[in-house]
Amino acid sequence: MAKNASNSKPKKRIAAIDLGTNSFHAVLVDIYPDGSFRTVNKLKEMVILAEKGLEDRLSRDAMDRGLEALKRIKFLCDSHKVENILAFATSAIREAKNGGDFIKEVGENVGIRVRAISGKMEAEMIGLAIRHSIVLGDEMVLMADIGGGSVEFIIGNQKEFIYYNSLKLGVARMAAGFVDSDPIEEKDVKKLQKHFAKELAEVLKLAKKHKVKTIIGSSGTMENIGEMVANRNSITAKRSLNELEFSAADFKDLYKDFIKLNKKDRLKEKGLEEKRVDIINPGMVLLNFLIDKFKIENIKISEGALREGMILNFINNQKEQLNLDLVASFKDPRRRSIYELLRKCNWPEKHSRHVSNFALQLFDEFKEELKLKESDRELLEYASLMHDIGYYISYRKHHKHALYLIRYSDLLGFKEDEVNIMANVARYHRKSTPAKRHEHYKQLNKKTRKRVKKLSAILRVADGLDRSHYQNVEKLEINNKKNKIQLIITTHSDPELEIWGTLRKGDLLEKLTDKKLEVFHVVENEKK
């Protein structure tokens, strides 16, 4: 128990600040013993360092805006007792002749040590953040972080990056250098396309060689594009844009209308931030260019970007000093983030694993009968592992606390519908079965409600099989007959509590299968 309790206490609180061309972003996080981190607070300050495009010097006004923004960020860090502040300057500052002067002023007047990082290092850290946040497979994908001054391109998969670099193709830079019209005219679009073709020759060659069909975009421009597509197509993205996925055709539908709009009409587009209205078009043209050149099929959004890469880099470099036991065995961000949450909530591990094993055995038996998909199996496994994390708040209503913890824990790699399914399935492991009078269940669409009901039915029976929480049931056999379900359990001792718990929670499975549930037992010693 002491070991679990220590896992829930953070080792260190740090802040990561990305000093970008348009805005300064800060995120404050707690780092835990397993190397995971949890956001404590965020602050975003618009500074617009590139007032008239990226020039060779930062104006005095821009520097003053930057200093004021960093003073507010420093105040936030101090009020939250941050122990380390990581501050990285990117394109606009590293390229300006007086960028060093600005960094010096920040140190003297604000007390933050800023480091100007190379474009290549910036790209690598963005790649690490995306890989941490998004499920990547063996397929090579193109990652693109479209900033104001530069665009970071990474080609890679879950195992490796074969290319990462920063190119001076940011939207503020491109808008200042190539766009003279509003709405943007075809001649300006062609100038941008010609420039992209020239600057992206190496990226194009490698992406074609590795048959890239997916783009993963991070940061503001790509997030805004994702939000606009989601709003036009009624794609769920209420809580998080992470893992938002849409097709190239969805983007094309937006592009053909959007590219004709003037500023006034662009402002009406749901999902576009006002501050991006003057510089969004080069980003739209760039994404459209990449889709056409590579015959891209899918686009995904990652909320992981430079700041998260900075944190991951810090954790990796400090793991020995902080005595961290990294959860490096979980390369998949889905499983990793589930286990990070389990550890933070001091989960009842033996009981939860036992219930999960029974749930998966029942799933395999009833998969075809209940018309379930293989993807449902993974969600059931995770919901089973997390079903009792509500104890972390209190025993009373712990099933409802579990729903809340799962929904609002920023689990990485999952789409919003998947998070809602896991949260609701965990919620219904006890007490009431799913009903439309319940607020969170009612908000789900009809198809998702059906999935929740079926998976809940399985979890309820699995949880009943370990009603004592002492893993009394050693073995489960299932006889799935025409009009009844027979569960034969082998136990260590008196199974009355498990039989009672299973039959009490079996009503939903009985209803869905139209079969009667029966439980028989064999005592382990008698069997021997």
Q: Which superfamily is assigned to 330-522 in CATH?
A: Hypothetical protein af1432 (1.10.3210.10)
Please say if the pLDDT value at position 1 is more than 50: no
**pTM for the full model?**
0.79
Please say if the pLDDT value at position 433 is more than 60: yes
Domain 12-117+308-323 shares a fold with domain 135-303: yes
Placement of tokens 């965020």 in the chain: 42
**What's the rounded Cα separation, in Å, for the pair 300 and 308?**
18
282 prior amide bond cis, ω within 30? no
Q: Identify the pLDDT of residue 9.
A: 79
Tokens linked to 316? 């990796």
Average pLDDT on 306-313 reads: 94
Please say if the pLDDT value at position 324 is more than 90: no
Looking at the chain, the whole-number percentage of residues with pLDDT higher than 90 is: 76
**What's the rounded Cα separation, in Å, for the pair 412 and 304?**
9
Q: Identify the pLDDT of residue 220.
A: 85
Long-range contacts of 368-375 (CB under 8 A, 24+ apart): 369/480, 369/513, 370/454, 370/457, 370/512, 370/513, 372/451, 372/454, 372/455
> pLDDT band for position 3 (50/70/90)?
very low
Average pLDDT on 281-301 reads: 96
Please say if the pLDDT value at position 528 is more than 50: no
Please say if the pLDDT value at position 365 is more than 60: yes
User: What residue segments make up the domains of the chain, in order of their start?
Assistant: 12-117+308-323, 135-303, 330-522
Average pLDDT on 190-209 reads: 96
b/e 260-284 (16+ beta carbons within 10 angstroms → b) = ebeeeebeebebbeeebbebbbbbb
Q: Report DSSP letters for 368-383, one per residue.
A: TTTT--HHHHHHHHHH
Q: Which superfamily is assigned to 12-117+308-323 in CATH?
A: ATPase, nucleotide binding domain (3.30.420.40)
Please say if the pLDDT value at position 237 is more than 90: no
Q: Which of 3-7, 46-50, 94-98, 236-240 has the lowest mean pLDDT?
A: 3-7
Task: Sort 209 into a burial class: Cβ within 10 Å, 0-12 / 13-18 / 19+.
Answer: exposed
Looking at the chain, the whole-number percentage of residues with pLDDT higher than 70 is: 95
Please say if the pLDDT value at position 525 is more than 80: no
What average pLDDT is seen over the chain? 91
What is the tens place of the pLDDT at every residue in 340-356?
Answer: 899 888 899 999 999 99
Q: Identify the pLDDT of residue 485.
A: 97
Single-letter code of the amino acid located at 61: D
User: What is the CATH code for 135-303?
Assistant: 3.30.420.150
Please say if the pLDDT value at position 169 is more than 80: yes
